[in-house]
Amino acid sequence: MIKINLIPPVERVKERPKIALPPIAIYDVVGVLVLVAVLLWIFFSCTITKSNIAGTKSRINTVKKELSALQEVVNRVNHLKKRKSELQGLVSQIEGLKPYTVQEVIVLDEISKILPDYMWINKFNHNSSANTISIEGTTFSALSLADFITNIKKSNLFENVTLKSFSKREQEKVEVITFQMEINVAFDQVLKIAKKEG
């Protein structure tokens, strides 16, 4: 017997292949979590670093302002140090002159004691290296000048007297005598007196 199939043939549609995702393993999840954690750490560290940089810049600007304000003080201090060293140099020079000052006072005191009345000293110069005194003076009388020379010779602080010039002239209808002399100072005697007084 013959079998006849009266049912129309059904077209068979080819099945599309199913794309199957590979199974998610625990390592994949851990890797993604680690990657997210690293990205978050980088983001937060960059943010913190930026804020630190901004804070450091503001501190640098503040310090620069303070330094510029302090620079004036530093300049002032340096100026004062320089001035102090200059003054110390001057003080040391003055200290070096002290012995000569005492000697000058002794010589001037002696000159004032032996200077006769009505005699004036116009110029007085003491050359301490040569131990000589140069005097230019004025008097009304030659006797006063003679007394002055005699007094110088009697003094133990002076050794020799040299009269350099002697001239008469009229000044305001009065005759005056002008003179120049040079006196040698007995330096040893002056030092003895300075040591006794010092």
Q: Is the pLDDT of residue 57 over 70?
A: yes
Q: Is the pLDDT of residue 84 over 90?
A: yes
Query: Which domains are assigned to the chain?
Result: 100-197 (3.30.1360.100)
Q: What pLDDT is recorded for position 180?
A: 93
Concatenating the DSSP letter of every residue in 156-184 gives TTEEEEEEEEEEEEEETTEEEEEEEEEEE
Q: Where are the alpha helices (DSSP H) in 24-174?
A: 26-114, 142-154
133/154 Cα distance (integer angstroms):
16
Q: What pLDDT is recorded for position 85?
A: 92
Q: What pLDDT is recorded for position 3?
A: 73
